[in-house]
Amino acid sequence: MTGRLPYFILLGFSLLWCTGIYVTPFLVTEQTAAFLYSVYNQVCHQLSDHTFHIHGSPLAVCIRCTALYTAFLGGALLYPLFRQYTISITSYRYYIILLAVPMVVDVGASWATGYSSTAISRILSGGLFGFGAALLLIPIFIEAGHQLTTQKTSYTFIKKHGGSV
């Protein structure tokens, strides 16, 4: 499996996920919209005052999640421009933590002060995390796809040399 197939699979799922976020307010049948809202409710609180509205209907996820998923899609689309830059696998966790800091600070400050964060801080913190996460996670996804298709498993080894699983 080349690196292209896992990349395009992830890109396709990201595009499908983001499409669901944006089309939900436009759905004609209430049953379809209710189904999509319930799917996205599994990953987002969907508080109405924290969500963008189109034509009086909320998007499927809150502002921060909308920014995060849309920026992830943007990062996935732009990944081919950044793929030459490599980061050691042990550094990934530190970069992910660093990217999450603005979100943690934004949410923590809101909880500590009782004041709601602004739409701009939600967009910036979610967008930064989403874009950076795409650039960090896509190489891992591609490598996992490569290893799944090329590496012999221990089960094959046991079958070839005897023994039980």
Report which of 145, 109, 156 is spatially closest to residue 13, judged by C-alpha positions: 145
Amino acid at 16: L
Distance CA 132, CA 16 (A): 20
- Local structure of residue 27 (DSSP, 8 states): -
Where are the domains positioned within the chain? 4-151
Q: Render 53-96 in DSSP notation, one character per residue.
A: EETTEE-SS-HHHHHHHHHHHHHHHHHHHHTT----GGGHHHHH
pLDDT at 149: 81
Residue with tokens 């979100």: 103
The stretch 74-81 carries a mean pLDDT of 95
**pLDDT of amino acid 152:** 53
Give 29-70 pLDDT, tens digit per residue. Answer: 889 999 999 999 999 999 999 999 998 899 999 999 999 999
CA 114 to chain centre: 28
User: How confident is the model at residue 82, as a pLDDT?
Assistant: 85
Backbone angles phi, psi at 58, to 5 degrees: -75, 150
Task: Give the pLDDT confidence score for residue 68 in this predicted structure.
Answer: 98
Contact (Cβ atoms closer than 8 angstroms) between residue 61 and residue 44: yes
| pLDDT tens-digit readout, 136-162 | 999 888 888 888 888 655 545 445 444
* pLDDT computed for residue 147 by the predictor: 84
pLDDT digits (tens, 9 = 90+) for 101-128: 999 999 999 899 988 899 999 999 999 9
Per-residue confidence (pLDDT) for residue 24, from 0 to 100? 94
- Global pTM value: 0.84
